[in-house]
Amino acid sequence: MVMNKKSINSICVGELRHEPTTQPHQLPLYATSSFAMKTVEEGIDIFTGKKDGHVYSRYGNPTVDIVAQKIAMLEGYDLENVPYAYMTSSGMSAISSMGLACLESGDQILTQGNLYGGTTELFNKIFGSMGVETIFTDLNDLENVEQLLKDNPRIKLLYFETPANPTLACVDLKEITDLARAYNKVTAIDNTFPTPYLQRPFNFGIDFVIHSTTKFLNGHGNSISGIVLGQNEKYQKKLWEVIKLAGTNGNPWDSWLLNNGLKTLSVRMDRHCDNAMKLAQFLEAHEGVNYVNYIGLESHPHHAIAQRQMSGFGGMLSFDIKGDDSEAMQFMNRLKLATMAPTLGDVDTLVLHPATSSHLNVDKDLREENGITDTLIRISVGIEDVKDIIEDVRQALG
């Protein structure tokens, strides 16, 4: 009989080595801050890059890495080369990490005025304090965009959302990318609204694709995370250094929850799209509504662009209610099924008033110039029975 020479205290504290004989059916959660080396030499080889391996979860974690790889496969499954991908702590940290990797003081960002409010604030307040200027324009006015590129050689990055949050404005990905390439500019897109199930920007030659994976990719509102994916190898090393040293990395728990949500992405998005179209049609016909922003409607100014580059129109819409901001408040307060929450992409219907929440700190002139009025209401249409969603909105409209 082999005697155990360790004391009971040491056995309690220590970890037994786990060498699985069979593959787990579900992704394991690697809830560990660090990884043990068998020898000093192995540690040196991993730290110097001679050998693959995990050392510290800020540098990489099996759960995190596998989920990043899965999303990279979704964004690039019909490409010759799968893009590289890094999970981050949120969608905002994905944007900031990409920006820190690409931009230097004196550079300029060219973007649209109807971005998510947090992104506009990031560009103006954080990047602005670092000496990076942001220029807002209509990215569908290609003649003006080209003139701006000629007049402002310091423009380094073209950044856009399509569809945009919350007006659902679209940018023609082929045209804007062709123009950016002609002037040797970096391109980045927030693909959160459509997800790779409905739109894959890498097919148009985009350099970076960003997601707030908190939203539709997860779909259940139980974690916060983001991802930045890239095809431009020039910035891969710098991006990795930023994420590692700035500590914007994703964590295994949120990645594990995200992986569970990804399993139902396709079936959820199909229902989101179907329900949103029916709700949009109802709203467009309602006498209490000025107009509806939903790219599935022919009345949306960018409907044709969406048709060219998306396989479905998504679960997001917004509408302008007749009256003043008090009418918007009353509408929201009368809702019974839908939830007022500052997020989107969950399985249940979520409603938000951009002017007093997501875009509260965006300059009012810029906000209203881009259709984000005091009477605009954003709806993330859930996967409930669409009759119940429509009835809730109907009674709230009064």
Catalytic choice (156, 200, 215, 268): 215
Catalytic choice (190, 254, 320, 346): 190
Residues 6+ apart with CB under 8 A from 161: 112, 114, 115, 116, 119, 171, 189, 190, 192, 193
Q: Three-class SS string for the chain?
A: CCCCCCCHHHHHHCCCCCCCCCCCCCCCCCCCCECCCCCHHHHHHHHCCCCCCCCECCCCCHHHHHHHHHHHHHHHCCCCCCCEEEEECCHHHHHHHHHHHHCCCCCEEEECCCCCHHHHHHHHHHHHHCCCEEEECCCCCHHHHHHHHHHCCCEEEEEEECCCCCCCCCCCHHHHHHHHHHCCCEEEEECCCCHHHHCCHHHHCCCEEEECCCCCCCCCCCCCCEEEEECCHHHHHHHHHHHHHHCCECCHHHHHHHHHHHCCHHHHHHHHHHHHHHHHHHHHCCCCEEEEECCCCCCCCCHHHHHHHCCCCCCEEEEEECCCHHHHHHHHHHCCCCEECCCCCCCCCEEECHHHCCCCCCCHHHHHHCCCCCCEEEEECCCCCHHHHHHHHHHHHC
Beta-carbon count within 10 A of 181 CB: 12
77 is catalytic: no
Catalytic choice (84, 116, 159, 294): 116
215 is catalytic: yes
Catalytic choice (45, 58, 138, 325): 58
235 is catalytic: no
What is the per-residue burial (b if ≥16 Cβ within 10 Å, else e) of 22-42?
eeeeebeebeeeebeeeeeee
The bridge status of strand 316-321 relative to strand 133-136 is unpaired
What is the per-residue burial (b if ≥16 Cβ within 10 Å, else e) of 48-82?
eeeeeebeebbebbbbbbbbbebbbebbbeeeeeb
At 301, list the tokens: 């100014």
State the catalytic residues: 58, 116, 190, 215
